[in-house]
Amino acid sequence: MPIVYAENNKASDVEITPKITIKGSKGKGKLAPLTATGILGALPLSPERRWAIIIGISDYAGTANDIQYADDDALDMLKTLIEIYGYKRENILLLISDYNVNNATRNEIIKAINDIKDKEKSGDEVVFFYSGHGARGKANDGDNEAIDEAIVPYECTADSLIWDGELKSLFKDFHTSRIIFIFDSCYAGGMTDLKANGRIVVMASTENGLSYEGDDWQNGVFTYYFVDKGVFQGFANTHDYSEVEGDEPATIEEAFDYAKANVPSIVPQTPTIIDSFTNDLLP
């Protein structure tokens, strides 16, 4: 299948914003059920039916745009999908920029989406995770928004950005509706174009908000609470889902609730979510 590229990636008034590096404490680990229903939706799938694209960019082109922990966010997401949720490593495409490896360019990200599109089938599960800079501007990306949001590939230029309308177009022909999007970046809350039945869009910040990282977390603050502490360490487990035997991992909704309760108490950042999956999703 040929790679799908955006027809027109020109934009004006582009603002590329890196995560803000801060110092602080990790907090006390609050719990505040907000999104999780306590009722499991469609049951988890076999590992052969789960796919993921994980992107983390710390080392951007040049020397002025680097951040520290987006690559760690990606690696922790990879570890969590494999060790906690049982994903197969061969079903995961890792696009990372960490001073030693770089395959997180615009073309490689688009190619990865199309590669997964060629493999996934109706009813399968797909995770798309991005950690890095966020951007906004006025883009000709196929939607009618006055201001668009974008993820920022390695090139870190206005022409390299992948806008929310482009992501919507790239994912519109997927066979499955069970798709989980996770964005740890500034302006992440603007990724609402990706909303569709069966999907969950998890966003580390509001549409106009910034995202933060720091040495105390060794991660983006959102990823630390959503992925590391919430899911991998199990602190987000607040419900006993009777449909699953044993000690099941946190659902996406439980992990989001845990992050939503903790992140704003540490930094001026408010996670947001669009959940169009029926009840709670256990990857």
Question: How many Å apart are CA 47 and CA 97, to the nearest integer?
Answer: 27
- From 156, 175, 186, 239, the catalytic residue: 186
What are the backbone dihedrals phi and psi of residue 255, each rounded to the nearest 5 degrees, phi first?
Answer: -65, -40
Any bridge partners for residue 94, and if so which?
A: 54
Question: How many Å apart are CA 250 and CA 282, to the nearest integer?
Answer: 7
Q: Which of 26, 77, 58 has its CA nearest to residue 215?
A: 26
Burial (0-12, 13-18, 19+ Cβ within 10 Å), 242 = exposed
Token pair listed for 188: 């992440």
Q: Which of 155, 207, 169, 213 has its CA nearest to residue 6?
A: 169
Q: Answer yes or no: 156 catalytic.
A: no
Q: Answer yes or no: 133 catalytic.
A: yes
Question: How many Å apart are CA 2 and CA 161, to the nearest integer?
Answer: 20
- From 133, 156, 175, 239, the catalytic residue: 133
Burial (0-12, 13-18, 19+ Cβ within 10 Å), 255 = buried
Strand, helix or coil at 211?
A: coil
Catalytic machinery residues: 133, 186
